[in-house]
Structure formats: C-alpha cells, structure tokens
C-alpha cells in the first residue's frame, strides 16, 4: 500500500540534471501539478522526453519558459516557438524523433529490449548516424531504447496500490512511460480505496508506480 | 469554391466505407466535412481515440478528448481509447487504411517531403514519418503551387518524410497517381486544362488518353 | 458495424495449410467454439502459433489429437504428451520459443517492426542459427516477426463494432494476436449493442476484428 | 519436515515486503504458504494477473482466473489483469523483484539448466528463459540431489536456461550463493554437516568462516 504524497514532496526528489519522461500530448494528459511544482522549485538542466513541448505557458511549455530544460527529446515542437527559439540559440539541445519511434524506444527501455527495428525514418535525416539492420530481405533502422530517471505520468484515477486508469486521449504516452523510469511518480485526478478499481480496468499495474500524488484539489 | 474546398471534396470520394482513416491537421481535417452520410468510417487521431466525432457543443467539451491538433472533439458510439503505442502500432502495422496529409513537395518517384524546411521551419515530424511509412494508402492533399512555385517536382529538394511512394496526390488543379513509371495525371480540376496543370508542375506528368474532370463530393 | 456470424461459417473460411494464431494459456482464454468447429470440419495441415497446446482433448489439444496440425510454434508443450509424441515421430514439426519472445515476435508482426532484440535465449539452444545484433555494448538475439493468416481470439465481451474486452487471466495472448493476422476472428462470450462498452474499457479496437462470432449459447 | 518444506520455508525468508514475485509451478509455488502474514507481496503468474490469491473455495472458481499451472486461484484486492506482452515486459524489463524456479542443474558460474533433457524431456521453456534473463533476483529452489546424483556441478551438462548468474540456490541441505569467485556456502540445512554437503555436491564450494544453520519461516 502507498501513502499519497504532496506534489512538493515529489518535486523535491528530482535533482538538477535529471532525465524526465513526461506524459501528455499538447498538454492533454500531462502531469500539470508536478510541472508547476518543478517550476516553483527552480530545478535546472533537465532533460525532457515527451511527445511535444505544448504551448508557451502551458504544460511542458512552462518548463521551457522558465529555463529548467537543457535538452528535449520529442516528436514535435512546432507549436511552441519558445522551444524553437531556444533550439536555434543553442540554449536547448533538441532531438526530434518520429512519434511512433519515440513511443517504441521508451517501451523498449521499459521492457528490457535491445532496441527497435523500424522502417520509419529510412531515407530521411532521422537515419543519420544510426545502425542499419537487415533482416528478412529488408532494411531497418535500429533505434535505441530510452529510459528516464523519473517518469511523471498523469492518470484519471488511482488506488492506493498505485494501479492507474486513464481517460480517452489523456492515455497517450503515459502507460508506456510508466514502464521506463527508475522512479515513477503518478499524478491522479482522484485516488480510491484498494479494490475499487477492478483488475480488468487497470492500465498501469501499481507495482510500476513508486510514488502517488494526492488527488487533485 | 476555393482551392481547399475542392481538394477536401475530391479527397472525400477516396474514403471507403468501414475503414480506419487518419486526417492530418489543417486542410486534411476538412475532408471529414464532405464525407457522404452513408459512408461509415472510423477516424483516428494519432494522440489516441479511434472514432473521433465532431466538435462538441460549447460548454460540453472534455479536456481529455481532443484531436492531434489539440482541438476538442467528441467520440462516436463504438469509439475506443488507445495509448500511443497502440496508435502507432496500428499506423505502422498496416492497420490504418488511409492517411490524408499535407505536402510541401512530391516528386516523380512519388516521394513526399512535408515536415521541414532546413534553416527555416523545424517543427518536428510528429507522426508524419510513421503515417507515410505505414498507412495502406497515403493521400497527399495540398494546393498545387506555393506562391506560384511548383510543389510537384522532379526530385524533392526538401528532406523526405519516408522512402515510400504515396498513393495519390490531390490538388485543386489535378489528381495525380504516382506509379512505377512516374506521375500519371488522372483528373483535372474544375475548369483547368491539362496545359495549365503541366505549366504549374515541374515534374513530368504522364497522360493516358483523355483526362476527365474530377468529381466532387 | 459487423454482423455476428455462426462458428461454422467462420470455420469454413480457414483453408487447409493455414497459419493460425490461437489465444489461450492452457486452454484459459482459448476460442473453444472455433476449435471445435475446425475439428468438426476436418481442416488439415494447419500451423498453430500459441503459447501451448493445452492438454489432450482440451482446447488446442483437440486440434493436435485429431491430426489437423502439421506445425506448432509454442513456448510449452510439456503438459500435452500427444504433442510430444507427434514431435518425436516427426508427424508435427515443433518450434519452441521462449514465452516472452513469442509474444513480442507476434507483436512485432502486428505492429510493423522488423524484429525483436532480446537477451532471452542467448547462450542457449534458442540462439542457434539466429542473427546477433550488437548495440549499446551488449549482444541481443534478433528474433523475427510472426504473423498468421488468421488469428482466433477469445474475448469476454464484444460490441457490434468488434471492440473487445477480456477477463483476468483470459487476456494472455489474445490482445496481441488480434494485431498480427490477415483475418481476425473474435469469439466473445457475449455481444452487446454499440455504445455499451465504454471507450476506456476497450482492449482490442474493433477496427482490428474482421469477423465476430455470435455470443456463446 | 520433508525436504520440500525445508526449502519452501527457507525461500520464504528471502521475500521482501512490497515486492513483485513470480513463483514457478511445483515446489516454488509452496513458498507462498510460508510467507509471514505481515509481509505484503504481489504474486505474479506469467499468464497474467498481478496479485494472485489463494485457491478459491469449492464452487467459487472462475474459469478465467488460474495460475500458470492452470490451477484455480483468486485475486487479492488491488489485483491487476495484464496480457502476455505486459507480463513479460515486467519480467524482462527488470520490474519483477524475484522469481523462484526449480532446477535440474546449477554450475560454478551460477548458470542454471532447468528446461530440457536432450533426447528425453522436451517440454519447452515456457517463461523460464525470460524469467532467468530478466528478474532482479533469481532463486533456484530444488532438492540437493536427483536420485543421489549431484545437481550442483562444475559446469552444466544440460542446455542452459540463460547466460545469467542466479542469485541464490536453496536446497534442503544448503543455501549457496553464486558469486564472481564461485559458489559460496552460506548456510547448512537442519542437522546437515558441511562435509555431507560437500559430498553431495560435485561443484567446488567456498566456505568463509563458520557456516550457520539455515533459519526457517
């Protein structure tokens, strides 16, 4: 059984320079309370692995705006001109990864696989510097696994085991990121007693979750 | 009828009943408006719901239910929530029947460039590379020229999106099918002559017999 | 929307020599009605991909007993002495695959990946004849994707879109197999109207299901 | 107390609170019976429920809720259903804290052979290779000798299960820890002398100071 902790308590666990996997797609399904707490604390030199950096002043965009981030691995930054500006001025190093490759690289990191063999990116700038593997008469890029020091995942509902449920398009990267970090911090909208979430409704088993935030205010 | 409406109406006719279709943001998303009411289709957005519905009435939005552009949507009866791994598994695994995407350039090989302009626009490829590499049918929906400059060219000068011949190019001037022999001009736009199309196209176009006018939904 | 069909109708689609992915773990979560119908029809020379061959006279064991099977790809046949005897007498060719590798090979087949890079099987007979890939300073086996002509999956509940729910330990290989065959046949315990299964409860989206059997009698 | 009970009671002491543990079928599954009541553990079976509980009362079995041996079980409050991909992702991804497996041979390198006897027993490896390659701690629970023949040998003559040094060997005669220097004899069984252990062991055993008697749960 887990104690639900305060957001500030969780944010204090994250040191400067940490690699964070952060769920969400343009802010939908992002752990907004954790992001606010990291901004408030002033953590620096973070590496953010996420689908995107949302918009300026929204979701992950807040971490970009406040200068907490030195490196981004994402599939899309086009809707956040601040990320693009900081990339151009070399304040933030950006690695752009095709979205499907990004999620599989994180899954590989979480599931103990050596990498991902995909045709996505062949013949494009994504191919540069990467190992090519031939199998079954076809060529594939070998994309390497990604893991985080922390995964910050947003969930609709949790129980005190840490079992998580997600809602609609707020699933996105969260269930996969919960597999792939040394420490997984879950930010649920609500927390219910053990037994309330039926086994078949669980999308992330509680054994993957290290820390559970209190329910949303 | 403006160029975008012509394109959207023509692409709508390509959509087969009982298929899974991904519409890119912008112009491609307009296609849904012109779908015949008797054609049942599941729309997928890469951020994670199969069975996207129209925009909800004001005040009935769900913050956890948006399309890939971040706009509020609804879910049709029979919709299914999926995470990013399943979303891109469907895309790369050949389960997506059709994707409709915008384009910056398409060339005589049928290769598409639609995600970056070096030194200018580096938004990231998002899901585009996976979509083009993986969908069964890739339809490029774009205006025929950009500020008078042809976008259909002998060989893309912009970085490619994938090493895959797209299925069809639909512009307001023409419907063009890339084949092993080159680009075949299948239809001309309303009131547009073949000569006008050729003048607005840098790539070589193959015409076979009479070129009919495009039908519009 | 799908019509729910009779088991016999579905069994008639499966020709001699077909490759079948069949869900279940020692018979739990296996499509028992489909298996009975295939036995009754007398289909021959089948390749079965499944976790195990259950027990003689039970689940997949019935297909072994009646001589329908010429090849098995499975992780375990130890509880079915008939499979072992037929392997020894060369009546059935058996490929034994570590269970985690088996499920990932099927997933790779369904999700368009080029293969699986795993440490499982290194230094064991599983390694024989396989490509080794070095990445990140470690050695991995390259295990190739598996696909079926048909996937026969058992579900707890379906709607008429084909969306599927599974129960407890009857999930096992079913959700993954539903990704990886040209034709997917789902055998649900019950079938409910469209809209009854909430989007967040769907484990296999209906777009993956080609044919739906009638509810259990 | 018979040999198996000694082994099961000793292994039970290895299990840490709040961990995820996989018990193999047969002797290892007995370990659950001797767990101190204040130690909360989630048991996982590779067929797919986290939080396996005891056998249900007669008449209250669920055909969709069994352990990896096919026996009926229950689910504890807070249990989670998972499919085979997630199950083995947990195993290979290092999320499984401990697995307890039977053994045919263990050698001085700490390598385990437990899945086949060439020419005799070819049941398939099931999940054993993934478990040994992937679990954080691998405990081999086995009787010390087979029909008087030592099972702890200089080098396994049977095919290996994985190229991984197991964490601990527990028999009715001894607790042995494989290390980089070789097999260290940590404890002796009730009423067994070090000489007797060495006589029943073909491999070289390292003893450091006095060897204490094993405690039993």
Closest residue in B to C112 (Cα) is B93
Long-range CB contacts (within 8 A, 24+) of B210-215 = B211/B185, B211/B186, B211/B187, B212/B187, B212/B188, B213/B187, B213/B188, B213/B189, B214/B6, B214/B10, B214/B174, B214/B175, B214/B187, B214/B188, B214/B189, B214/B190, B215/B10, B215/B13
Neighboring chain C residues of B47 at a CB cutoff of 8 Å: none
List domains and CATH numbers for chain B: 3-207 (3.40.1080.10)
Cβ–Cβ < 8 Å for B77, C195? yes
pLDDT confidence band for D26 (50 / 70 / 90): confident
**C115 close contact with A: CB closer than 8 A:** yes
Number of structural domains found in chain C: 1
| pLDDT given for residue D211 in this prediction | 97
DSSP secondary-structure letter at C76?
A: B
Q: What is the largest CA-CA distance in chain B?
A: 54
- Residue A103, pLDDT > 90, answer yes
D46 in catalytic set: yes
CA-based nearest distance D135→chain A, Å? 11
Neighboring chain D residues of C125 at a CB cutoff of 8 Å: 116, 159
Cross-chain Cβ contact B65/A168 below 8 Å: yes
| pLDDT given for residue D24 in this prediction | 86
Cβ–Cβ < 8 Å for A154, A170? yes
Comparing CA positions, the residue from B157, B159, B166, B174 lying closest to residue B109 is: B166
- Residue D36, pLDDT > 90, answer no
The share of chain D scoring above pLDDT 70, in percent, equals: 100
- Residue A46, phi then psi, degrees to nearest 5: -75, 145
- Residue D177, pLDDT > 80, answer yes
Comparing CA positions, the residue from B112, B115, B114, B136 lying closest to residue B21 is: B136
In sequence order, which residues have a C-beta less than 8 Å from that of residue D71 and are 6 or more positions away? D55
Q: Which residues pair with A172 in a beta bridge?
A: B83
Cβ–Cβ < 8 Å for D102, D76? no
d(CA C155, CA D60): 21
Which parts of chain C register pLDDT below 50? none
| pLDDT given for residue A180 in this prediction | 98
| CATH, residue C158 | 3.40.1080.10
pLDDT per position as a tens digit, C56-75: 999 999 999 999 999 999 99
Q: Is the residue at A168 inside a domain?
A: yes
Helices marked H in D27-120: 84-92
User: If 0-12 CB within 10 Å is exposed, 13-18 middle and 19+ buried, where does residue A3 land?
Assistant: exposed
Radius of gyration of chain A (CA): 17
Report how far Cα B151 is from the mean position of its chain's Cα atoms.
15
pLDDT confidence band for B120 (50 / 70 / 90): confident
Neighboring chain B residues of C110 at a CB cutoff of 8 Å: 89, 93
CA-based nearest distance C121→chain B, Å? 25
- Residue D198, pLDDT > 90, answer yes
d(CA A123, CA A107): 24
Note the ipTM here.
0.97
Q: Which of residues 144 through 173 in chain A touch C, CB cutoff 8 A?
A: 144-145, 165-168
Q: How far is CA A95 from CA A57, A76, A173, C98, C152, in A?
A: 21, 10, 17, 35, 41
**Lookup: tokens for B2:** 């403006």
Instruction: Give the nearest partner residue to D126 out of C27, C29, C76, using CB atoms.
Output: C76
Domain that holds residue C76: 4-112+145-213
pLDDT confidence band for D121 (50 / 70 / 90): confident
d(CA A53, CA A84): 10
- Residue A1, pLDDT > 90, answer no
Cβ–Cβ < 8 Å for A120, A101? yes
3-state class percentages of chain D: helix first, strand second, coil last, to nearest 5: 20, 30, 50
Report how far Cα D3 is from the mean position of its chain's Cα atoms.
15
Q: Which residue has the tokens 């500030």?
A: A8
pLDDT per position as a tens digit, A73-99: 999 999 999 999 999 999 999 999 999
- Residue B36, pLDDT > 80, answer yes
d(CA C152, CA C182): 11
Q: Is the residue at C119 inside a domain?
A: no
| pLDDT given for residue B171 in this prediction | 98
Categorise residue A48: left if φ over 0, alpha if ψ from -120 to 50, beta otherwise. Answer: beta
Q: Helix (H, G, I), strand (E, B), or coil: what is residue B190?
A: coil
pLDDT per position as a tens digit, B128-139: 999 999 999 999
Which chains does A contact via 3+ CB–CB distances below 8 A? B, C, D
User: If 0-12 CB within 10 Å is exposed, 13-18 middle and 19+ buried, where does residue B143 land?
Assistant: middle
- Residue D102, pLDDT > 80, answer yes
**Greater model confidence, D27 or A147:** A147
Q: How far is CA B138 from CA B101, B103, B110, D111, in A?
A: 8, 11, 10, 51
**C163 close contact with B: CB closer than 8 A:** yes
Cross-chain Cβ contact B81/A169 below 8 Å: yes
Q: Is the residue at C138 inside a domain?
A: no
Query: Cα dihedral sign for B74, B79, B80, B86?
Result: negative
User: If 0-12 CB within 10 Å is exposed, 13-18 middle and 19+ buried, where does residue A83 land?
Assistant: buried
pTM here? 0.97
pLDDT confidence band for B24 (50 / 70 / 90): confident
Q: How far is CA D209 from CA C217, D110, D173, D179, in A?
A: 69, 21, 18, 16
| pLDDT given for residue B209 in this prediction | 93
- Residue B53, phi then psi, degrees to nearest 5: -115, -175
Which chains does C contact via 3+ CB–CB distances below 8 A? A, B, D
Q: Helix (H, G, I), strand (E, B), or coil: what is residue A209?
A: coil
Q: Is the residue at C105 inside a domain?
A: yes
Helices marked H in D45-105: 84-92
Q: Is the residue at C16 inside a domain?
A: yes
Q: Is the residue at C137 inside a domain?
A: no
Categorise residue A121: left if φ over 0, alpha if ψ from -120 to 50, beta otherwise. Answer: left
d(CA C4, CA B90): 24
| pLDDT given for residue A20 in this prediction | 98
Sheet harboring D112-113: ordered strands across?
A: D112-113, D105-107, D152-153
pLDDT confidence band for D65 (50 / 70 / 90): very high
| pLDDT given for residue D1 in this prediction | 86
| pLDDT given for residue B37 in this prediction | 82
Q: Is the residue at A209 inside a domain?
A: yes
| pLDDT given for residue B1 in this prediction | 86
Cβ–Cβ < 8 Å for B23, B32? yes
**C159 close contact with B: CB closer than 8 A:** yes
| pLDDT given for residue C193 in this prediction | 97
Judged by average pLDDT, the poorest of A124-138, B165-179, D29-43 is D29-43
Q: Which of B14, B46, B108, B187 is catalytic?
A: B46
Half-sphere exposure for D177 (CA within 13 Å, toward CB)? 11
Q: Which residues pair with A152 in a beta bridge?
A: A22, A185
| pLDDT given for residue D84 in this prediction | 98
Give me the mean pLDDT over the B162-176 stretch: 98
pLDDT per position as a tens digit, A147-167: 999 999 999 999 999 999 999
Beta carbons within 10 angstroms of residue D163's beta carbon? 16
Query: Cα dihedral sign for B189, B192, B198, B202?
Result: negative
| pLDDT given for residue D100 in this prediction | 97
Cross-chain Cβ contact C200/B93 below 8 Å: no
| pLDDT given for residue A98 in this prediction | 98
- Residue B58, pLDDT > 90, answer yes
Q: What is the largest CA-CA distance in chain C?
A: 56
Instruction: Give the nearest partner residue to A175 out of B62, B83, B162, using CB atoms.
Output: B83
- Residue A58, pLDDT > 90, answer yes
In sequence order, which residues have a C-beta less than 8 Å from that of residue A125 and are 6 or more positions away? B116, B159
**C140 close contact with D: CB closer than 8 A:** no
Q: Is the residue at A162 inside a domain?
A: yes
- Residue A186, pLDDT > 90, answer yes
């Amino acid at each position: 059984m887990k104690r639900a902790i305060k957001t500030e308590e969780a944010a204090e666990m994250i040191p400067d320079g940490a690699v964070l996997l952060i769920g969400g797609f343009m802010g939908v399904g992002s752990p907004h309370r954790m992001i606010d707490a990291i901004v408030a604390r002033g953590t620096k030199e973070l590496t953010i692995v996420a689908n995107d950096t949302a918009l300026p002043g929204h979701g992950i965009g807040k971490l970009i705006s406040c200068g907490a981030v030195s490196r981004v691995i994402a599939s899309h930054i086009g809707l956040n001109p601040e990320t693009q500006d900081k990339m151009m001025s070399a304040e933030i190093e950006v690695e752009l990864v095709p979205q499907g490759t990004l999620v599989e690289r994180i899954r590989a990191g979480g599931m103990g696989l050596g990498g991902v063999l995909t045709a996505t990116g062949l013949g494009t700038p994504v191919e540069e510097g990467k190992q090519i593997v031939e199998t079954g008469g076809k060529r594939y890029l070998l994309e390497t696994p990604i893991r985080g020091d922390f995964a910050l995942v947003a969930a609709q509902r949790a129980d005190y085991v840490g079992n998580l449920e997600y809602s609609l398009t707020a699933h996105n990267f969260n269930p996969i990121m919960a597999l792939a970090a040394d420490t997984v911090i879950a930010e649920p909208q609500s927390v219910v007693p053990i037994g309330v979430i039926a086994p078949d409704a669980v999308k992330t088993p509680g054994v993957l979750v290290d820390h559970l935030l209190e329910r949303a205010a | 009828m403006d160029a975008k409406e012509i394109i959207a109406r023509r692409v709508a006719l390509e959509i087969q009943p009982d298929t899974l279709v991904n519409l890119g943001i912008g112009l491609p998303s307009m296609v849904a408006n012109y779908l015949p009411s008797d054609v049942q289709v599941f729309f997928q957005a890469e951020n994670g719901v199969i069975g996207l519905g129209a925009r909800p009435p004001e005040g009935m939005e769900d913050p956890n239910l948006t399309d890939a552009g971040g706009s509020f949507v609804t879910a049709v009866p029979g919709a299914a929530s999926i995470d990013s791994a399943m979303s891109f598994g469907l895309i790369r695994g050949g389960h997506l029947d059709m994707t409709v995407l915008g384009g910056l350039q398409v060339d005589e090989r049928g290769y598409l460039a639609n995600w970056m302009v070096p030194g200018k626009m580096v938004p990231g490829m998002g899901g585009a590379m996976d979509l083009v590499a993986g969908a069964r049918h890739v339809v490029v929906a774009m205006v025929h020229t950009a500020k008078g400059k042809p976008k259909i060219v002998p060989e893309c000068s912009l970085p490619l999106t994938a090493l895959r011949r797209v299925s069809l190019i639909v512009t307001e001037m023409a419907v063009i099918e890339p084949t092993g022999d080159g680009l075949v001009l299948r239809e001309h736009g309303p009131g547009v002559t073949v000569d006008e199309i050729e003048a607005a196209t840098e790539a070589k176009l193959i015409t076979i017999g009479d070129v009919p006018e495009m039908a519009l939904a």
